[in-house]
Amino acid sequence: MPKKINQSDIFTATVNVYSQQGYINTSMSEIAKRVSINETTLFRRFGSKSDLITQALTDLLAKSEIGQVIFSGRLEDDLYNIVIAYKKSNALFGAAVLNLMTELPRHKELRPAAAILNKNTARITGILQQYQQTGELVSGELMILLSQLIAPLMVQATFERSLGLSFDHIFDAKAHVDTFLHGHIGHKQ
């Protein structure tokens, strides 16, 4: 009886290898080894390394916390949910996303994987835009507003990855949202 291939395990292994080794050093043989299947099986099923990485990133990032945030109509709750979802998604996939963003200019074959980043970003900026339209958030460029919300989290994650530390014990998502709102509250409030 042939071995059952678990696509979720393959995608997780792919993103882990890609996160740790980058595009050039990611190999189909290493991914196959991690999920105990034959390398040929991966090529038959996914075609190429870039196709496998693209499918894995697309699948996992679409299912990630940040890919699931929705508008609730409650500004502080939505900002809190964005912050928590970003932190959770970044903890799981931040290294892979950073690799993807830095490698895209050199490896055009990875461009399809960027579509999910664009989709998740559009989802979050869409939420922020709704609050701008109601006057609950200041008007302005949405990507700058989003950057101001998540940039401190990006810096924190970079330090955590680089230094092998965790700052979760001192991070307060509610306080972060309150600080953000202090400078970005709209005229309606």
Q: pLDDT band at residue 81, thresholds of 50, 70 and 90? A: very high
Whether residue 172 lies inside any domain: the answer is yes
If residue 184 lies in a helix (H) or strand (E), which one and from where to where?
Answer: helix 173-184
Nearest residue to 35 via CA among 3, 9, 59: 9
pTM: 0.87
* Structure tokens given for 43: 């090529």
Q: Residue 128: which of 169, 186, 54, 53 has the closest Cα?
A: 186
| CA 112 centroid distance within chain | 15
Q: In whole numbers, what is the pLDDT of the chain averaged over residues? A: 92
Residue 38 lies in a domain: yes
pLDDT higher than threshold 90 for residue 2: no
Same domain assignment for residues 161 and 78: yes
Q: Say if residue 1's pLDDT is above 60.
A: no
pLDDT digits (tens, 9 = 90+) for 3-33: 678 999 999 999 999 999 999 999 999 999 9
- Domain membership flag for residue 46: yes
Angle at the Cα of 92 (from 122 to 145), degrees rounded to 5?
30
- The whole-number average pLDDT for the span 98-105 is 94
Residue 186 has what pLDDT? 67
For 150-189, write each residue's pLDDT tens digit: 998 888 888 887 888 777 777 899 999 999 998 877 666 5
Q: Look-up: residue for tokens 């970079």?
A: 158
Structure token digits, residue 31: 């991914």
Other beta carbons within 10 Å of 1: 3
Return d(Cα 67, Cα 89) in angstroms, integer.
9
For residue 95, being part of any structural domain is answered with: yes
Specify the pLDDT at position 126.
Answer: 97
Q: If we measure between CA atoms, which residue out of 101, 106, 139 comes closest to residue 121?
A: 101
Reduced to 3 states (helix: H, G, I; strand: E, B; else coil), residue 55 is helix
Which domain, by its residues, includes 156?
71-184
In tens, the pLDDT along 26-74 reads 999 999 999 999 999 999 999 999 999 999 999 999 999 999 999 999 9
Which tokens go with 136?
């609950």
Q: Does the residue 189 lie in any domain?
A: no
65 in a domain, yes or no? Answer: no
Beta strands per DSSP E along the chain: none
Q: Same domain, yes or no, for 137 and 109?
A: yes
Residue 107's pLDDT band (cuts 50, 70, 90): very high
Distance (Å, whole) CA 49 – CA 27 = 7
> Which residues are CB-contacts of 102 (< 8 A; sequence separation ≥ 6)?
none
